Amino acid sequence: MKILRDYFLKEFCGPLFLTLGVLSFIMVLVGNLNKIADLVINKGVDILSVFKIFFLMAPYIITYALPIAVLIATLLSLGRLSSDNEIIAIRASGINFFRLVLPLILIGLILSLALVIFNDRAASYAHYAYRKTLIDIGIKNPTAAFEEGVFINSFEKYILFIYRVDSKKNKLHNVRIYEPQGEGKPTRTIVAKSGEFIADREKSTVKLKLMDGTSDEPDPENPANFYKLNFKTYFMSLNLAEARGKEKIDKKTKEMTIHELRSEIRRLKSEGVDPTPLITQINEKLVLAFSCIVFILIGSSLALITRRREKSINIGMAVLIMAAYYPLLIGCEALGIRGFVNPVLAMWIPNILFGLIGATLMYKLCAS
């Protein structure tokens, strides 16, 4: 039995590592080629900073890539063994089907438990570090933080619209800056033909030098009103990292660890605030991790039922399973957040459903 166990694991681990590497490469690099080209060519960001960005994206990508790799590896490895009648020969010798796939199930359980820790620690930390790196890049090379032709809401108090960005010369052309004054009050507007950035790395701010434009200035007698002021040169400061150094407050929910999420849930409950989105986030981390063992259950059963050696067909089945699983997960998450279903139950519905299907198919195979 030890020989068969080692043989099965060898057949499984090869496709697993290969698929995980290919998926991670595609999802991290190929899926962001346009962003890489824009940062390097148009924004003038150095290549080391770009590599750092995508290195920090990798852990979050692995959260999704590893379960998919497990599913594909299960279908490929057991599909080949089944199509070559090796499974039939092994079962004919009196070995139960469940004993054959038990090593894979144990591997799936180990991967799920490891992914719980990985999702909670590495992925959360990396995504937060990724955002901080983008801020640092914005300070070192301010034009990298801007995209021409869109409204930019990255700054406290200000909304920017830039018609053209010349990153090589650190120049901006046709700049509009809006400063909302609050409900019922007119918005202050600054318009300039051109501008440039002067970075202050120590203060994590950027000075914006505007040239040839107009500015709305408050009326000293009635601050709610503005009058137009023409200028040749106008300086203003923009804060690119207004909240640097604050860990918990600035973290998004997906960047918090389970411990931080639970602490935040207790705080919100004490203030009478509904913490459902945070409860959903905790369970999402766990559900994505335990999808590894769920995919092994359903993947191994389908591989033996279909008995197809062709990689394209097995990958096609994996795509169909993912096309059913992930939209269901997103839909259940929406139901949980909106309060239609208990958020804990809602998030676990996909794993329970697919796990029951896989366990039922496996039971029938073992009984036959």
Q: Each residue of 232-287: pLDDT tens digit?
A: 998 888 765 554 444 333 577 888 899 999 998 998 888 777 889 889 999 999 99
Same domain, 6 and 135: yes
The continuous run of DSSP H or E covering 120 comes out as none
**pLDDT tens string 338-351:** 888 999 999 999 99
112 and 184: one domain? no
Sheet architecture: strand order including 159-166: 151-152, 159-166, 171-179, 188-200, 205-219, 222-239
Residue 3 has pLDDT above 80, yes or no: no
Residue 279 amino acid letter: I
Same domain, 164 and 134: no
Q: Are residues 119 and 265 in the same domain?
A: yes
pLDDT at 135: 63
Whether the per-residue pLDDT at 32 is higher than 70: the answer is no
Specify the 3-state DSSP secondary structure of 183: coil
- In this prediction, residue 200 carries a pLDDT of 63
Residue 270 belongs to a domain: yes
Distance between CA atoms of 114 and 44, rounded to whole angstroms? Answer: 39
For 307, the enclosing helix (H) or strand (E) is none
pLDDT value at residue 246? 40
Q: Are 1 and 99 in contact (CB under 8 A)?
A: yes
| 62 shares its domain with 121 | yes
125, 265: one domain: yes
- Give every CB contact of residue 276 below 8 A, 6+ residues apart in sequence: 336, 337, 339, 343
In a shared domain, residues 123 and 76: yes
Domain that includes residue 50, residue range:
2-140+261-367
Model pLDDT for residues 289-329, shown as the tens digit of each residue: 999 999 999 998 888 887 666 677 888 899 999 999 999 99
**Structural domain contains residue 244:** no
Q: Is residue 343 part of a domain?
A: yes
Rounded to two decimals, what is the model's pTM? 0.71
Kindly indicate the confidence band of residue 357, based on its pLDDT and cuts at 50, 70 and 90. very high
> Which of the 8 DSSP states describes residue 248?
T
Q: Residue 65: is its pLDDT beyond 90? A: yes
The number of C-alpha atoms within 13 Å of 151 and in the hemisphere containing its C-beta is: 5
DSSP annotation of 185 reads S
pLDDT score at 305: 80
pLDDT on residue 57:
85
Report the DSSP beta bridge partners of residue 159: 178
The CB density around residue 5, as the number of other CB atoms within 10 Å, is 15
Helix axes 97-117, 2-28, angle to 10 degrees: 40
Q: How many residues does the chain have?
A: 368
Question: Does 69 score more than 90 pLDDT?
Answer: yes
CB 232 within 8 A of CB 239: no
What's the domain count of the chain? 2
Q: Are residue 127 and residue 26 in the same domain, yes or no?
A: yes
Mean pLDDT taken over the chain: 81
Instruction: Please work out, in degrees rounded to the nearest 5, the angle formed at the alpha carbon of residue 124 by the alpha carbons of 338 and 59.
Output: 115
Are 62 and 179 found together in one domain?
Answer: no
Residues 123 and 172 in one domain: no
Higher pLDDT, 243 or 121: 121
Indicate whether 173 and 97 sit together in one domain.
Answer: no
- Flag whether 249 is in a domain: no
CA–CA separation, 15 and 240 (whole Å): 44
Q: 145 lies in a domain?
A: no
Q: What average pLDDT score do residues 204-210 get?
A: 77
Q: Has residue 207 got a pLDDT over 90?
A: no
Looking at the fold, whether 197 and 269 belong to one and the same domain comes out as: no
**Contact status, residue 86 vs residue 92, Cβ threshold 8 Å:** no
* Residue 363 scores a pLDDT above 60: yes
Distance, in Å, from the CA atom of 46 to the CA atom of 133, rounded to the nearest integer, reads 13
